[in-house]
Chain A
Amino acid sequence: MNQQADHDDEQVERMLRRWGADEAARRVQPGAPPIPQATPRRRRTTRRWALAAAAGLVLALAAGGALMVSRTDLAGQTQALTGAQADADRLEAELAQARSDLDAVRADLARAGDKALADAKRHAAAVEKLREDFQARQTASAAKAVQAAARLKRLEADLAAAGGKLKKAGADLAKAKSQLVAAQTAATRPSAELARLRRRLAAANTELTRLGKQNRDALLAQRKAANDLAMFQAARRVAVGDYQRAYLSAAAGGATGLAACQAASANTRLLARCAQLRPSIRKPATRNLFDRIEIILTRLDLIDPGGLNAAADLVKIIRAGDVMAQIDAATAIGAEGVEVRQWLIEAGAILAGVQRVG
């Protein structure tokens, strides 16, 4: 208990000593100028210190009172301490109030700071927008500058082209002038040239007339030759037909129809002669024709002349190979020897007989 009392005494004494020093310092500078109130920040700092000083003063007064009470009445020390406790509580409440004020000040400061930050952001956004606008305008200006340069270049090219056209028109004009002069000169040529040209024209007309007549004569001659050829071919067909019928009737020995053809082929030994004549054939086409006719004659020899379709079947084979036309061609060109041609003529006569039957 005594120790606690000593400790309190020391604390009170230390606070009083500090208060005394502060008071002395304040009295030493009575003419000091008032604290300037330049900025709100400094005012707030001063207020904070004033609050702290007031709190200290209150605490010092409380401690002094308590010390006086303890000095005057040692017996009622416990009661005095209780009063000091009450004062301390009151002071603590005041200190809490001071702290609350301090928090309010801090909140004001925070709000002010937030507002300043928001303002700064708004300004930054405005600055950014200005910068973007500037950049866009700069880009648009550059594009317009490029367009203007291109247009200028195009205009220059058009101008150059127009200059070229003008130059060419000038040249054409000069040429036309020279041609005009030449035409005027030609118009004054002597009439002898014109007469010469007229004579040449008349000669050309005469030649044209002569050639036209010659052409017409040639055409008439060609038609006549075609008619003669047709008549000759008709006569030949008649003669060949007569020959074939006479040949068949002579070679068949009285037989008729397909049997007459078989008999004629056998009696004239066409197949045997075919084998004998083969080595003397000159053209491969004639050799192939010989082979084809040999097969037809062999088939003719083997076939039943009384069969219903015997002749018709043979005719099919003859027509399939276009044998009669090939015989005509081979005998007409005279590329083969007489015996070969004769054999072909005889075979043609027999095959013609088969075709008549079929």
Chain B
Amino acid sequence: MSGKPGQLVACLVVGALAGCAAMHDGAAERRRSAYSSSLGPDATTMNRAVTIASDGRYEDAARAFEQLLQRLQTAGGDRAAAAEAMFWLAFCREKQGRFSEAAALYDRVAAEFPDARAADNALQRRRRIDPMAASRPAP
């Protein structure tokens, strides 16, 4: 870590971030707080599946998210948890290159759980998927 140039860069970054913070959307934050995930007993399963995904084992993680999603939907349980599980399933498919499946799942998250935290993330990631890639068949 160099001395003065590094500190200068850090100061610039901190100043820029202070400006960004002023533009933070307070309405979105309030909406998220009102519709937050409370996984309860399924939190451990969700965390474990996310850890598996962070290791790059997307197929194993997708299988875990599918099981969790099926359990949450059949039990008529936590909608926020179901939305997050569906989002992570779409995330794994995107990382696997199965863009059409991922796009469809992101769309379902936004359509079925419009007030969930995961809906915003789903829409953002859905927009980033190349329309050409989305139309490509899964490998």
Q: Interface of A with B (CB < 8 Å)?
A: 236, 239-240, 243, 246-247, 250-254, 263-264, 266-268, 271-272, 275, 288, 291-292, 295-296, 298-299, 301-304, 306-307, 309, 313, 316-317, 320-321, 342, 346
Contact = CB atoms under 8 A, between A and B. Distances in A.
Contacts of A247: 10, 13-14, 17
Interface string B24-60: 1000010001001110000100010011011110000
Interface residues of B, number: 37
B106 interface: no
A283 to B, nearest CB: 15
Nearest to B24: A253
B124 A267 contact: no
A295 B50 contact: yes
Contacts of A236: 1
B50 A291 contact: no
> Interface majority SS on A: helix, strand, loop or mixed?
helix
Given A299-B50, A316-B51, A317-B51, A264 B38 contact: no
Nearest to A332: B1
Contact of A250 (B6, B21, B51): B21
A16 to B, nearest CB: 148
Contact of A317 (B6, B17, B47, B128): B47
B14 A250 contact: yes
Given A307-B38, A309-B43, A251 B84 contact: no
A288 B54 CA distance: 9
Given A246-B14, A250-B21, A301 B121 contact: yes
A356 to B, nearest CB: 18
A267 B121 contact: no
Nearest to A323: B54
B56 A291 contact: yes
B18 interface: yes
Contacts of B53: 295
Choose among B20, B23, B43 the residue with the greatest number of A CB atoms under 10 Å from its CB: B20
Contact of B56 (A239, A288, A296, A299): A288
Contact of B121 (A263, A292, A298, A309): A298
A331 to B, nearest CB: 9
B98 interface: no
B128 A275 contact: yes
B118 interface: yes
Interface string B62-97: 000000000000000000000010010001000100
Contact of B17 (A240, A250, A302): A250
Contacts of B6: 239
Nearest to A233: B1
Contacts of A268: 17, 20
A208 to B, nearest CB: 43
B18 A302 contact: no
B22 interface: yes
B22 A253 contact: yes
Contacts of A296: 54
A92 to B, nearest CB: 135
Given A246-B14, A253-B21, A317-B47, A291 B87 contact: no
A240 B51 CA distance: 27
Contacts of B36: 304, 306-307
